[in-house]
A and B are shown apart, each in its own frame.
Chain A
Amino acid sequence: MLCNICGKNPATVHLTEIVDNQMNELHLCEECAREKSSQMEQQFGLSDLLVGLTQTEKSSEDKEFANLKCAGCGLTYKDFKKIGRLGCGECYTTFKKYLGPLLKRIHGSTIHHGKTPFLTVKVTKNKVDVQELRQQLQKAVESEAYEEAARIRDQIKEIEQKQSPEPGGNEEK
């Protein structure tokens, strides 16, 4: 059997592709199979995104947002639609209005319940930098991330309670 893609080399890799619960069988040569698998992964992310985008997007909004640009990296919403990848972490805030429904479509949720990098401050440093946490707290409040702010506040409290029995530990009111 010859490869389904190039039609030249013998098919040595036999793939089953599942698209919308439909199974397709593909018989490919090793070379085309490699190509295909990297392609499929990209397409997988991409098509998922594009479906999500077209469904949440109205044409008037499209115009409004097409030129919206991330201040952090210069990526426009148009760029994102084209390449299916964001440019930097800040893009998530810039395109928040669009990404919310998209994340919901991809993951079925828009609330993270996993670990956070902030907790490590408490666990790892012996002399915890309360100052640093206070700065984080202020940032969180400014960006209206109240859940995070509450978490950091609890953290500060906990640290201060731990530190208070120490002789000379300056307790703040």
Chain B
Amino acid sequence: MKINDLLHQTSEWLKGTGPNSDIVISSRIRLARNLQKFPFPHWANKKQNRDILDAVAQAVPAIEGLKNATLFKLSELDNIDRQFLIERHLMSYEHAQKTDFKGLIIDDEEVISIMINEEDHIRAQVMQSGFNLFEAWGILNKVDESMARELPFAFLSDWGYLTACPTNAGTGMRGSVMLHLPALIMTRQINQVLAAIAKLSFTTRGLYGEGTQAVGNFFQISNQISLGPSEKEIIENINGLIRQIIEQELQTREILMTKSKIMLEDKIYRSFGILKSAYTISSQETTELLSLVRLGVDLGMIRDITRRTVNELFILTQPAHLQKLENKKISSQERDFKRAEIIRQQLTVK
């Protein structure tokens, strides 16, 4: 597989399917693992980092689910490719910095991805569409078991899997759910929700980046605690919280539909109209308007395009994706033209 092959397929997490996919975009589980006898990547020397990369690379053929996977060396990719992989949520922004001896394994379907020599030797993740953490865990657990057969992991019986940062020790597990919450934001109820989440030791962040929550009505919610509860308990705790948020968002959508239907229709159809007719558009405006169009699809107001089309547009209109489509580096102004063009094409009913 080559990076360019990914451009024309839909990432698993963007398919717009799975439970509660009107509100939940995707579910993701990642595990942090480290090899015994090797320093953690930040503390290892070059030779050690190379040995770690080699050891994991050698194990790949024996790892479950990676029969059709490709290992990329980050130092061999150009900036646009790296940015492209970040936009597809296949790796972190941090992983694209200081790329010596860093690796990324991706399976053909973009379900499983494994970062080598990020903060930990191994950061393996599985993504699923919709509200589906247990499904993701089922896949990742098998990946982990087959890795453990090949690679000796640093582990203590009382403290679990050992990680570079003690905040990840124990299960090494982070479960994240990406939510689309336009109604809670429109009605300004989101702050209460977020404050409650912070009290419960969960973290929120935006579509991109860590530790923050950003634009476009998207929120990613993750567990903070990784030592103590079992993997199953961690997932159950996240699920409990997510179910409450979904319920609140649904109720608020219903209230908006009964009390301010015309206002809502106006917002949604105007957004749709701008996206279908603009000839230049920024990334920021795109995300905001697409979010409203997605709400329109979810509420059954817009019927001639699918959720999947809207989801794909979120990613195709990102800077590196636009440049991959053009097959060259283009300026921010040119990107705004290209972005508008792609949106017009996709939203025009064939």
Contacts and interface: CB of A to CB of B under 8 A. Distances in A.
Interface of A: 12-18, 21, 23, 30, 33-34, 36-38, 40-41, 43-45, 48-49, 72-73, 75, 83-89, 92-93, 99, 102-103, 106-118, 120, 123-125, 140, 145, 147-148, 151
A25 B136 CA distance: 33
Interface string B226-255: 111111010000000000000000000000
A45 B194 contact: no
A65 to B, nearest CB: 16
A114 B212 contact: no
Contact of B148 (A106, A109, A120): A120
Contacts, number: 190
30 contacts: A13-B215, A18-B198, A18-B204, A33-B212, A37-B209, A37-B214, A41-B94, A72-B37, A85-B43, A85-B119, A86-B40, A86-B43, A86-B164, A92-B162, A99-B159, A107-B228, A110-B159, A111-B228, A112-B159, A114-B170, A114-B173, A117-B148, A117-B152, A118-B155, A124-B146, A124-B149, A125-B149, A145-B156, A145-B158, A148-B157
Interface residues of B, number: 65
Interface string B189-220: 00100110011010111101111111100000
Contact of A38 (B141, B165, B209): B209
B153 interface: yes
Given A85-B42, A109-B170, 12 more contacts: A12-B283, A13-B214, A18-B204, A21-B199, A37-B93, A41-B210, A87-B39, A89-B34, A103-B159, A114-B173, A140-B157, A151-B157
Please name the 3 residue pairs, one residue from A and one from B, whose CB atoms are nearest each other, closest first: A109-B228, A89-B154, A37-B209
Given A88-B43, A107-B226, A110-B159, A37 B212 contact: yes
Contact of A115 (B34, B39, B171, B214): B171
